[in-house]
């Protein structure tokens, strides 16, 4: 009965469109009252959920992404990518994917990627006679790399939910699958471009190339600072995030100088707004997860999934189907916090390394970001492209196929996720 009340009230509140963080805490309190648990214990769990040193990296990563986003880094990365591959047929679509790869390494957010790069590239692609649904599909599918390629604050959220998995290992574990996803999308965009006879990219004047390369590399050096500090052991993830944010500040306001210093007020407002949502979500998810563990829901789910088939591969497939289904109806951050304590024990039972499972989880949920009916990135891309959700979803069909293939490769070939972490001693 307690499980039915917890999950039933959660589902009911979601159907009533109550914000997810309030849904989590209200369903926890309702269940706590039924179980005669002192409400203060639930609130104490909320506090302990955000009382983690590793979570201090999140505000710095968000701040660095906001600074670079507002400071014109998106346009510079588009130009940088255009120098590298823009001359190929369908080059503008491939530039879109490559720019998302670069930008994902700075912002760590698929939504920020779509908003900043998409607002430039989608109109540009439409102007160059690319189909609007194709332009939107390329933009939002490539934006999914942003949550895999380090630094990603979603990896930090997973680390917390999984009980302290190494953030450095997760960053390195997500790099290979993120680049594999980007490569597969670039191949797909090229094949479609050739079949539809999309135009080649514009030729960039040779005298402009050094400036474009320099400005692009300055922005990308943010990632080098963050990852270099973590991998060398010189900085913790939190210290690297802080130094990365400081570097982004210097580059934006003293090198690029595209926005006035007073604009920092707007950047801080956006950062605090995002941070407040993320931290409140982590806090409420902590109390909800505590009740799930108290009611032994992870053990019940584990026994049920393993009982369906003795074959580990079938169990993995069932986990993937569950995550893809949940990703279609819920946003990423709450799902990481809810699904991890339930499904991680199952994954470990069938031989998953926690880092491998975390990467697969993030990739599954990134697909959910571009899938109807609740895909936030799909909504933003459709709005920028001025097309319906239905048309955008239809244009996404070949891209869904490519993303699912990459997901299955990552799930069933652990080395894709674990090679780099093992190489660097994690």
83 and 27 in one domain? no
Q: Is residue 353 part of a domain?
A: yes
Q: Is residue 127 part of a domain?
A: yes
Question: Measuring CA to CA, how many Å separate 325 from each of 88, 329, 402?
Answer: 37, 7, 18
Residue 188: predicted pLDDT = 93
Pairwise CA distance, residues 372 & 378, whole Å: 7
Domain that holds residue 12: 1-37
244 and 173 in one domain? yes
121 and 83 in one domain? yes
Q: Is residue 167 part of a domain?
A: yes
120 and 3 in one domain? no
Say how many CA atoms lie within 13 Å of 212 toward its Cβ: 16
Residue 414: predicted pLDDT = 93
Residue 306: predicted pLDDT = 75
Nearest to 116 by CA among 249, 254, 219: 219
Cis amide leading into 151 (omega within 30): yes
Q: Is residue 375 part of a domain?
A: yes
Residue 53: predicted pLDDT = 74
Pair of tokens at residue 262: 């007073």
4 and 146 in one domain? no
268 and 147 in one domain? yes
10 and 101 in one domain? no
Q: Is residue 242 part of a domain?
A: yes
Q: Is residue 26 part of a domain?
A: yes
Question: Measuring CA to CA, how many Å separate 59 from each of 125, 225, 262, 276, 338?
Answer: 34, 17, 20, 10, 21
71 and 32 in one domain? no
| Local mean pLDDT, 10-residue blocks, the chain (426 residues) | 86 83 88 88 85 79 81 79 79 85 74 79 85 92 86 86 86 92 92 87 76 83 79 78 87 87 89 85 83 79 77 89 84 84 88 93 91 82 88 92 95 93 82
Alpha helices in 35-152 (DSSP H): 39-50, 57-70, 73-85, 91-107, 110-127, 132-143
Give Cβ neighbours of residue 137 (< 8 Å, ≥ 6 apart).
392, 395, 396, 398, 399
- Structurally, the chain folds into a number of domains equal to 2
Q: Is residue 30 part of a domain?
A: yes
At residue 121, φ and ψ (nearest 5 deg) are: -80, -35
92 and 9 in one domain? no
21 and 83 in one domain? no
Contact (CB, 8 A) for 103 and 147: no
**For the CA atoms of 129, 134, 139, 145, what is the dihedral angle to 10 degrees?**
-140
29 and 148 in one domain? no
Residue 107: predicted pLDDT = 67
17 and 61 in one domain? no
Q: Is residue 45 part of a domain?
A: no
Nearest to 22 by CA among 327, 273, 281, 282: 281
Alpha helices in 128-166 (DSSP H): 132-143, 153-161
């Amino acid at each position: 009965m307690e499980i039915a009340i917890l999950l039933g009230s959660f589902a009911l509140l979601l159907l009533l469109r109550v914000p997810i963080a309030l849904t989590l805490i209200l369903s926890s309190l309702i269940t706590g009252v039924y179980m005669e648990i002192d409400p203060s214990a639930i609130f104490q769990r909320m506090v302990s959920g955000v009382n983690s040193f590793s979570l201090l990296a999140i505000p710095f990563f968000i701040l660095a992404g906001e600074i670079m986003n507002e400071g014109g880094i998106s346009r510079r990365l588009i130009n940088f990518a255009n120098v590298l591959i823009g001359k190929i047929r369908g080059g503008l679509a491939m530039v879109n994917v490559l720019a998302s790869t670069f930008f994902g390494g700075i912002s760590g957010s698929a939504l920020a990627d779509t908003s900043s790069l998409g607002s430039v590239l989608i109109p540009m692609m439409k102007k160059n006679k690319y189909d609007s649904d194709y332009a939107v599909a390329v933009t939002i599918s490539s934006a999914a790399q942003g949550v895999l390629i380090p630094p990603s604050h979603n990896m930090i959220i997973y680390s917390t939910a999984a009980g302290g998995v190494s953030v450095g290992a997760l960053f390195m574990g997500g790099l290979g699958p993120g680049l594999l996803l980007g490569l597969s999308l670039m191949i797909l965009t090229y094949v479609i471009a050739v079949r539809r006879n999309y135009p080649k990219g514009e030729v960039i004047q040779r005298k402009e190339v050094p400036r474009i390369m320099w400005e692009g590399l300055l922005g990308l050096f943010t990632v080098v600072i963050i990852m270099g500090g973590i991998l060398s052991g010189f900085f913790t993830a939190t210290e690297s995030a802080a130094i990365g944010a400081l570097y982004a500040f210097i580059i934006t306001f003293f090198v690029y100088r595209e926005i006035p210093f007073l604009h920092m007020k707007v950047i801080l407002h956006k950062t605090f707004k995002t941070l407040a949502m993320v931290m409140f979500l982590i806090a409420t998810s902590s109390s909800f997860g505590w009740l799930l563990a108290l009611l032994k829901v992870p053990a019940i789910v584990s026994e049920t999934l393993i009982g369906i088939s003795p074959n580990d591969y079938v169990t993995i497939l069932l986990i993937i189907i569950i995550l893809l289904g949940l990703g279609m109806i819920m946003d990423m951050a709450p799902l990481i916090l809810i699904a991890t304590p339930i499904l991680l024990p199952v994954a470990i039972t069938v031989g998953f390394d926690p880092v491998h499972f975390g990467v697969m989880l993030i990739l599954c949920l990134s697909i959910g970001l571009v899938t109807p009916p609740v895909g936030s990135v799909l909504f933003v891309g459709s709005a920028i492209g001025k097309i319906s959700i239905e048309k955008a979803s239809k244009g996404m069909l070949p891209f869904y196929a490519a993303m699912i293939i990459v997901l299955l490769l990552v799930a069933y070939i652990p080395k894709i996720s674990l090679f780099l972490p093992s190489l660097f001693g994690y």
